[in-house]
A and B are shown apart, each in its own frame.
Chain A
Amino acid sequence: MPQEHIVKIYDDELANLDRLIAEMGGEVENLLSDAVQSLVQYDAILSAEVIVRDKRIDALEMEIVAQATRLLALRQPMAADLRTIVASLRLVNDLERMGDYAKNISKRVKTLVKTPLLSAQHASVKRMCKLVGEMIRQVLDAYLQRDIKQAVSVIEQDEGVDLLYTSMFRETLTYMMEDPRNISACTHFLFIAKNIERIGDHATNIAEQVYYIVEGKQFEEGHINHDLSADVIRDTGEEA
């Protein structure tokens, strides 16, 4: 929108909403990165810190909801302004969930410290984290720039995360069958991988909100879910 509002303070309030969302998104991005870092390095101190830092994300959510509600009540927003505020109320919910998933990863670190190391799993988790971290960064950029192309690109990238998750699911199943002592750690890793995969889904939701802000309609092309883990059946040889 090239022009400014006649009421200047309205522009300031909308800019402040964007600033808060950017801050919250940045926190989520860092939290995921640190959560995975705490996992691969079995860093209990960092994992405890991640758990505490999620509170800041929750606080930012409350602040953004309050700010958006205030704008709705006092400014009676219309058109793109209205869509921005409605979208902010929805995407802030996604960001909050993403923070929770990151926290959940760190919560498992202290249990995993006591289990045998599975370095192959670490590499897969790190790769997923990198992909999803990039999606978060890009979707925040897309939001701040109202860049629909980048938003659609984020939606498309989720496919890669889903495929990685499915392959990790298969891999983990193999480890569990190889040695039952791996089961405990592998189960945690599956949850961790699922958490990262879900963070990717929420990044996709945010991208759809960016699409809504710009285009004024919901993103309908719908992305195909490539998480095929539900269909994975291991040949356990029991049929024979």
Chain B
Amino acid sequence: MTAHEKISPVEIQQETPKITARNVCVSYGNHQVLHDIELDIPRRKVTALIGPSGCGKTTFLRCINRMNDLIPSCRVTGNITLDGANVYDTAVDVEVLRRRIGMVFQKPNPFPKTIYENVAYGIKLHGLSSDKADLDRRVEKSLRRAGLWDEVSNRLETSGTGLSGGQQQRLCIARAIAIEPDVILMDEPCSALDPIATARIEELIHELKEKYTIVIVTHSMQQAARVSDYTAFFHLGDLVEKGETESLFTHPKDERTEAYITGRIG
């Protein structure tokens, strides 16, 4: 048990959230896809975003590290804070922001480089390492934390794209955590993986939350139920219900949540 977990639940609730979203609205051109989202993301917990396709959950995830800035027609209003600081403040350096908020995507996307370089790239880019020995240490630490070290330690100089799908995804997670972010955003990280690789990632998520705040978008309600502490249900661009995962899946308060999680609306 970590010191953090020893704190009583009441105290955890009182602790300031890692991320807050207030009145967040997102439009693509004239089409509004998110309406007044209000959500607190607690630190060092796993928060799952669930909902049917097109409900806005991925859009919301991408607001957190300003990935939507890359889409010209996309307009984000409202307020998102990371440790109390406005993420959309003009003074914010997006590169620095994305260093603090790592991201793992649906499809594993390792660079067409060696396994070592995949992990070392971000460390070098952000100048986190002083010398080769330190770089080696950081690469090993990240690969170990991603649960991949034992499988790749004897072939670090082979290509990352030669790994299996599950290994590639863990490599992407190692790459994300190598730059020591505070938050990891995961956009359906297991949808391209088989059940065993999925279980490994889920186990990894469980371990990673000791150190990181994790937000995961998943289409699998069972996965959300298995890995997350808190769940937020999105439907047609609205945040319908949020709460502790156990309570949301056994006794949801909103009829739309009930209908979705019991398989009555898609």
Contacts and interface: CB of A to CB of B under 8 A. Distances in A.
Interface of A: 1, 3-7, 10, 75-83, 216-217
B146 to A, nearest CB: 28
Contacts, number: 46
Interface of B: 221-222, 225, 249-252, 257-259, 261-266
A217 B251 contact: yes
Contact of B250 (A6, A7, A10, A216): A216
Contacts of B225: 78
A136 B7 CA distance: 47
B58 to A, nearest CB: 22
Contacts of A217: 251
Given A76-B222, A78-B221, A5 B262 contact: yes
30 contacts: A1-B258, A1-B259, A1-B262, A1-B264, A3-B259, A3-B264, A4-B264, A5-B264, A6-B263, A6-B264, A6-B265, A6-B266, A7-B263, A76-B221, A77-B262, A78-B221, A78-B225, A78-B250, A78-B262, A78-B263, A79-B249, A79-B252, A79-B258, A79-B262, A80-B262, A82-B249, A83-B250, A83-B251, A216-B250, A216-B251
Contacts of B264: 1, 3-6
Contacts of A83: 250-251
A81 to B, nearest CB: 5
Q: Is the interface of A mostly helix, strand, loop or mixed?
A: loop
A5 B263 contact: yes
A9 to B, nearest CB: 11
Nearest to A216: B251
Given A216-B250, A216-B251, A80 B266 contact: no
B235 to A, nearest CB: 14
